[in-house]
Structure 1
Amino acid sequence: MAPENVAYIGMYMQVLNGHPYNRKCDVYSFGICLWEVYCCDMPYPDLSFSEVTSAVVRQNLRPEIPRCCPSSFANVMKRCWDANPDKRPEMAEVVSMLEAIDTSKGGGMIPKDQTEGCFSCFRQHRGP
């Protein structure tokens, strides 16, 4: 799936579920972008746009968060992806959550017990 299509899924998800299009669609899309940046990958590379849209709406499909992702960062993504748009944070809260992540000692993105760096857990899945 083309990366630009993933950003539209939040809009389709809300509209297909009878919710109005609003900023919470953008929060969902931003959560997907956070995943893409962290993983250096595209979610759902083997699915078409219509397959992803259907699975996101009907089966609550979300990208798999790698085990090496710090819980503070994973929490931001999960909150952005909440199936209920009313439960998603406003962007100001997302920014605050990201700013609160401890980035000392390895940037905060590599767990202390991980010696190779986080991308080792995604090595076999890299690329579209």
Structure 2
Amino acid sequence: MKTFLLTSALLLGMSGFAVAQEVPKFFSETYPEHALQSALEARSALRSEEAALDAKTRELIGIAVAAQIPCSYCSYFHTQSAKAEGASDAEIREAVAVAAQTRHWSTVLNGMQYDLEAFKREYDEAMDASN
């Protein structure tokens, strides 16, 4: 029961649990024991009250990154977490589509070795013109 509660707390983005024997197996059996405490503390810090991003936004970013890696574990984890934080199916689809579009243009620009400084100038000029 404790493992279920801790896993649920992690999936919901909650922190404040003690790193001990009760850590979910997907953490404790996959990460070096000597580094687990600090890894979980870093993870909790990004989910603390001081975090600049709200929980739903963090999970939508997680879904987008997971789709690009690709990682089935991360996709499942962040999708379930995003839903728990109130993300709609439309928001999840859009996060994945934005990730795909970003990957598309990254592939084109990098593959064609488009000049980065020229890109920055063009972008900045376009932004200045729109303001």
What is the TM-score with the length of structure 1 in the denominator? Answer: 0.25
Which of these two proteins has the greater Rg computed from alpha carbons? 2
What is the TM-score with the length of structure 2 in the denominator? Answer: 0.25
Higher helix share: 2
